[in-house]
């Protein structure tokens, strides 16, 4: 019996490929919509190359609402830290920041800060508790994306020894000396496949989807810090010519999450230093906003790049999350952008209650075009902001200074910026 056949019930046969937060949330969303889901999710490694295990996410209100609907937020809300204000220092020498406060727009918080480990555990637990989701630890070795007349196919390679020594117990047979293992292929068919397998998406490449990479030539240093002064739920961000420093408040009143985007060569030099020396350098670079900082964890380095695709879907395959897009972390949009993919997918599914298998390729094409346009505007907007903040042109420092003064004196402009930071209300149901 295949994985797809083990999932009982009605609805479409759906595969979600990729572990982690996006894979779990996509599985929950599709199961709640009444579909039979097989979640192909190998166990996430304890130490990932992108430093996710040391990361804290600034979850926008829309992301929190989605997690509430998926039954995840109630499990982690006690560990989340509301951000009540954001201090932005357009220049490292600015004594006065531009303060964006939740009170300015009549909300209780701008975002909720939550650690990767806590959110991942809650998402995995919710997905594994669902009777409509079967978790399969395998990952496909190839894909056929299908079309309106044919299902999508995931192919799995399985190795086994060519010949076995005799044993009374088949579980303890050993391969004969000199025999090389052989490989067999199995396949499973689905109406829809969701690729949630990250920035290096294997399924995106195997499906032949075109994609590009803009290397920022920067690396983010991520670590947890302890502050001498309580943060009171205030997040801070400093911009300089070649770097972006962010300190995010964590659950404990004197604990902060550091994300420091530095030129890659400079970041490599920082990584050679003891963690307490890194903490002291961050203390100085942040103008001792929270006093002397000390390290609570090791520093993790993560290269930064913007990933773009020409299309979100092909055949019966849909890309979501980092498989479809990555952005610079200066605005905390990474996971939130993936959550917006899922919000839009949820709205689209609710608007298509009678969706049948043969309609999926065309349905995905229309949905993918909408998501491509929405994501491109955010990606290029963040890219433009990053470039504007790092340029050192004649008169630009004066313009930044005047802009900072203008923001501090114009409440309506601050309110507009806050609404942009809170994220769009996703509605792709049409």
Q: 377-428 pLDDT, tens per residue?
A: 877 777 776 666 654 444 445 444 544 444 444 444 444 455 555 555 544 4
Residue 196 lies in a domain: no
Rounded to whole angstroms, the Cα distance separating 260 from 244 reads 6
Residue 340 lies in a domain: yes
Rounded to whole angstroms, the Cα distance separating 136 from 296 reads 35
> Token match 């997690």: residue?
67
Residue 344 lies in a domain: yes
Residue 198 lies in a domain: no
Helices (H), 164-206: 202-206
Span 176-208, pLDDT tens digits: 555 555 667 899 999 999 999 999 999 999 999
Residue 136 lies in a domain: no
Residue 428 lies in a domain: no
Residue 193 lies in a domain: no
Model confidence, pTM: 0.84
* Backbone CA torsion sign across 8, 14, 17, 19: negative
Span 62-94, pLDDT tens digits: 999 999 999 999 999 999 999 999 898 877 666
Q: What are phi and psi of 106, to 5 degrees?
A: 70, 30
Total structural domains within the chain: 1
Rounded to whole angstroms, the Cα distance separating 405 from 98 reads 8
Which residue range(s) make up the domain with 29?
6-130+210-422
Rounded to whole angstroms, the Cα distance separating 115 from 76 reads 10
Residue 239 has pLDDT above 50, yes or no: yes
Residue 168 lies in a domain: no
What CATH number does the domain containing 322 carry? Answer: 3.50.50.60
């Amino acid at each position: 019996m295949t994985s797809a056949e083990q999932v009982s019930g009605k609805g479409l046969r759906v595969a979600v490929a990729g572990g982690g937060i996006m894979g779990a949330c996509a599985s929950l969303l599709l199961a709640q919509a009444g579909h039979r889901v097989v979640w192909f999710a190998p166990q996430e490694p304890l130490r990932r190359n992108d430093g996710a295990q040391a990361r804290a996410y600034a979850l926008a209100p829309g992301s929190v609402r989605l997690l509430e609907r998926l039954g995840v937020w109630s499990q982690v809300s006690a560990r989340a830290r509301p951000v009540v204000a954001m201090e932005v220092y357009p220049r490292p020498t600015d004594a006065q920041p531009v303060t964006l406060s939740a009170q300015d727009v009549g909300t209780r918080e701008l975002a909720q800060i939550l650690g990767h480990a806590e959110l991942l555990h809650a998402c995995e637990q919710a997905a594994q508790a669902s009777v409509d989701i079967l978790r399969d630890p395998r990952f496909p070795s190839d894909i056929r994306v299908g079309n309106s007349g044919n299902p999508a196919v995931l192919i799995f390679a399985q190795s086994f020894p060519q010949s076995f020594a005799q044993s009374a117990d088949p579980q303890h047979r050993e391969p004969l000396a000199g025999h090389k293992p052989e490989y067999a292929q199995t396949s499973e068919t689905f109406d829809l496949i969701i690729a949630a397998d990250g920035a290096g998406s294997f399924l995106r490449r195997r499906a032949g989807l075109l994609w590009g990479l803009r290397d920022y030539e920067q690396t983010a240093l991520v670590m947890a810090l302890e502050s001498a002064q309580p943060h009171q739920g205030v997040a801070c961000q400093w911009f300089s010519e070649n770097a972006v420093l962010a300190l995010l408040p964590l659950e404990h009143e004197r604990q902060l999450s550091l994300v420091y985007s530095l030129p890659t060569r400079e970041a490599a030099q920082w990584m050679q230093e003891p963690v307490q020396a890194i903490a002291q350098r961050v203390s100085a670079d942040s103008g001792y906003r929270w006093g002397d900082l000390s390290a609570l964890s090791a520093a993790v380095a993560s290269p930064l790049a913007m990933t773009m695709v020409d299309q979100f879907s092909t055949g019966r395959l849909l890309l979501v999350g980092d498989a479809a897009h990555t952005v610079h972390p200066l605005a905390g949009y990474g996971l939130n952008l993936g959550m917006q993919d899922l919000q839009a997918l949820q709205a689209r599914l609710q608007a298509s209650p009678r969706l049948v298998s043969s309609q999926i390729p065309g349905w995905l094409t229309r949905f993918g075009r909408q998501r491509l346009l929405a994501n491109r505007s955010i990606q290029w907007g963040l890219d433009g902001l990053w470039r504007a903040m790092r340029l050192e042109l004649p008169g630009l420092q004066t313009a930044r200074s005047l802009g900072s003064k203008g923001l501090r004196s114009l409440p309506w402009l601050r309110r507009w910026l806050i609404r942009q930071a809170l994220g769009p209300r996703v509605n792709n149901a049409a």
